[in-house]
Copies of this chain bind each other. A is one copy, B any other.
Amino acid sequence: MKKSEKGLLEAKANVLKALGHPTRLWLAEQLAGGEKCVCELAEQIDADFSTVSKHLAVLKQAGVVADQKRGKQVYYSLKVPCILKYMPCIETVVRTQIEEQVHLLRDDLPRPLPPRR
């Protein structure tokens, strides 16, 4: 593999990794409806203020969100909204996975005997 390809691969993985945390994914989804300040985001979620700030910093470093300071507040917004268009596909993955696990349960586990007549 060429060095440039490797670099691109790492950069792409970095974006996916940034989204690969429940809190950060939630933050990104919140921003789908338009920019929000840190305060709005932090108060909706059960986490320390500084934790939210750090998660936003991770998203920013990955290029997923942009920040803009206005007055006392900092507003974050999605920089490349197409990112969320992907979610239905991710949900398909999740759904498929869950269905398979259900099948596993159904097929492999001993079930109670049917009632005797």
A interface bracket (residues with beta carbon within 8 Å of B)? 35 or more
Q: Convert A67-89 into 0s and 1s, putting 1 for each residue whose CB lies closer than 8 angstroms to a CB of B.
A: 00000000000011011011101
A19 beta carbon closer than 8 Å to chain B: yes
A33 beta carbon closer than 8 Å to chain B: no
Given A16-B19, A20-B19, A79 contacting B93 (CB threshold 8 A) = yes
A26 beta carbon closer than 8 Å to chain B: yes
This chain: copies in complex: 2
99-116 of chain A: CB within 8 A of chain B: 100
* Chain B residues with CB below 8 A from A62, complex form: 93, 97
Q: Convert A1-32 into 0s and 1s, putting 1 for each residue whose CB lies closer than 8 angstroms to a CB of B.
A: 10000101111111111111110111000000
* Chain B residues with CB below 8 A from A87, complex form: 12
A50 beta carbon closer than 8 Å to chain B: no
A86 to B82, CA, bound (A): 9
Of the candidates B13, B80, B96, which one forms a contact with A22 in the assembled complex, judged by CB atoms under 8 Å apart?
A: B13
